[in-house]
Amino acid sequence: MTDTPGALLPNPAPSAGPGRPAGADGPVGADGPGARNRRDAVRRAAPLLPVLAVVALLAVPVTGPAGDGAAGSGTPADAASALLVVFCLLRAVRERARPLTRTAALVLGLPVFGVCVAAITAADAHAALPGLARYLQVFVLVPGSLLLLLRDRRDFRLVTWAVVAGALAQGAVGTVQYVTGTGASYMGEDVRAVGTFGPTDVMGMATVVSYGLVAAVGLALGVGAHGTGAARGAARRQRAAALGCAALLSVPLVLSFSRGAWIATAVAVTLQLALSGLRRAARVALVAAALGTVLVGGLGVGSQLVTERLDSITEVTGTPDRSVTDRYTMWAAAAGMWRTDPVTGVGLKGFPAHRDTHSSLALSSGSDTAGAGRSFERRPLLSPHNMYLLVLSEQGLLGLLALTGSWGALLVLTLRRLRAARPGPTRGSTGTDCGLVAAGLLVWQLVDFGYADIGGPSTVQTAVVLGLAAWWALSRTAPGGTAPGPAAVRREAGAV
């Protein structure tokens, strides 16, 4: 239905006066195309405010127990994610429609089984309940909410750009920390970029910035020159903006000194380049590499600290540093726990209680944290820093197969729909930028889980990222899904 002046402004239009065309509504220019477009944009973004709030509130600095990622702690972003879930639940009840397809319910519901069994069999029920809530939040509830909330590719792009904007904000804080020497302690210097997450979550900024960089690369690679002149112009603007964001985000990513984030980003971006086609990938890669080299070299990021960190990636099996030694020891401890209880594991949040029993003397007493506004503190090692081994030790084979089965299904469906959405000789692009974003983010997360696990304030962003991947893989309105109804078709009109 076309919007009419009466629909937009309920009051009767005043009679025409001097200098005013007959039938005009309000002052001249008050309801022009620009004003209508702004109102349409506001109306369109309004239902997405809960998820945009989750992304925005990640920038709120968290101090005290909540900032440590301890069980039972919460942050403003976590509270916003709870409101997001409630909002989507109420909307689904009001619309009285089956919100998920059978495939979506199965894929998102798989982790529930393993997590619930591990919570029931846990020796410490008090500690297991917050763990149960965290797993359901990150892997089921928030991704399912985004699957229900996003209506089409334009909504997907809006949330993606919010992720990029949040990454730019965190990256700017992290870069200032490096330049001014106010970051987290690293090799005796307060130079490690950690953003607003502080030294207790040194992976937080690296994770958020990596998400933004991978998302920006997907937005740049996926847009083509199809459609009308206006659509081609919008595609060029999106590509230029996304390339600029990707180049800017390469600086704080380097300054995070996070080897796992570097490796995961390299793998994800390489996959995106391979999936986007040789010509476009080469063009975008050359431009982004040139911009990134200028920025990194211009800021002197290619310092001895970064060089040593890069070299350490290939030395982890020869002369590993203390952090790598601790990680290997905790990996061995996690494997020992699994051998003790191979089917259901030692129970949710059971790793800390069983760690010393299965660890060798090579494990240190804790990790040192300091800088970024915090005094020196020695913190206990509460997880193996490997999501797969954490799930294996606490949930056993049952939980690991359920969780990895869900992730594997998401990846297969994501790649299948991306292939179906690629432009052909008789059709233009049908949203490959969204597919490349989803594939890149999902692959980044699956690779990074080999070096990290959930925990800390940045974890809620992981849930948002998995929600974007779930929408692309499972939604009826995503390219390759069930044909949308007329309302969805109208919403897609004008999309890039």
Is residue 241 domain-resident? yes
Residue 468 near residue 152 (C-beta atoms within 8 A): no
Q: Average per-residue pLDDT in the chain? A: 79
The reported pTM is 0.83
CA-to-CA dists, residue 193 to 217, 281, 381, angstroms: 22, 30, 21
* Number of domains comprising the chain: 1
pLDDT value at position 376? Answer: 66
Is residue 141 domain-resident? yes
Q: Which residue has the tokens 């429609």?
A: 97
Residue 367 near residue 379 (C-beta atoms within 8 A): yes
Is residue 318 domain-resident? yes
Q: Where are the beta strands (DSSP E) in 77-146?
A: none
Q: Compute the residue count for the chain.
A: 496
List the one residue out of 212, 165, 168, 180 whose CA is nearest residue 52.
165
Q: Picking from 193-197, 323-327, 482-486, which range would have the lowest pLDDT averaged per residue?
A: 482-486
Among left, alpha and beta (phi > 0; psi -120 to 50; other), residue 277 is left
pLDDT value at position 199? Answer: 85
Across-strand partners of 377? 369
Is residue 329 domain-resident? no
pLDDT value at position 417? Answer: 92
Is residue 152 domain-resident? yes
Range of the domain at 472: 100-322+369-488
Q: What does DSSP assign to residue 27? A: S
The percent of residues above 70 in pLDDT, for the chain, comes to 70
Is residue 31 domain-resident? no
pLDDT value at position 362? Answer: 64
For residues 342 and 65, which has the higher predicted lDDT (pLDDT)?
342
Q: Please tell me the distance from the alpha carbon of residue 309 to that of residue 305, in angstroms, as a whole number.
A: 6
CA-to-CA dists, residue 485 to 146, 472, 475, 477, angstroms: 19, 17, 13, 9
Residue 288 near residue 244 (C-beta atoms within 8 A): no
For residues 320 and 410, which has the higher predicted lDDT (pLDDT)?
410
Rg of the chain (C-alpha set): 24
What lies within 8 Å, CB to CB, of 164 at 6+ separation is 212, 215, 216, 219, 242, 245, 249
Q: What is the mean pLDDT of residues 390-399?
A: 94
Q: What is the mean pLDDT of residues 352-356?
A: 83
Q: What is the mean pLDDT of residues 336-358?
A: 88
Q: How confident is the model at residue 391 (pLDDT cuts 50, 70, 90)?
A: very high
What lies within 8 Å, CB to CB, of 101 at 6+ separation is 474, 476, 482
pLDDT value at position 67? Answer: 47
pLDDT value at position 492? Answer: 42
DSSP letters for 397-416:
HHHHHHHHHHHHHHHHHHHH
Q: How confident is the model at residue 315 (pLDDT cuts 50, 70, 90)?
A: low
Q: What is the mean pLDDT of residues 243-261?
A: 90
pLDDT tens track for 87-112: 998 988 888 766 788 999 999 999 99
Q: Is residue 430 predicted with pLDDT exceeding 70?
A: no
Is residue 310 domain-resident? yes
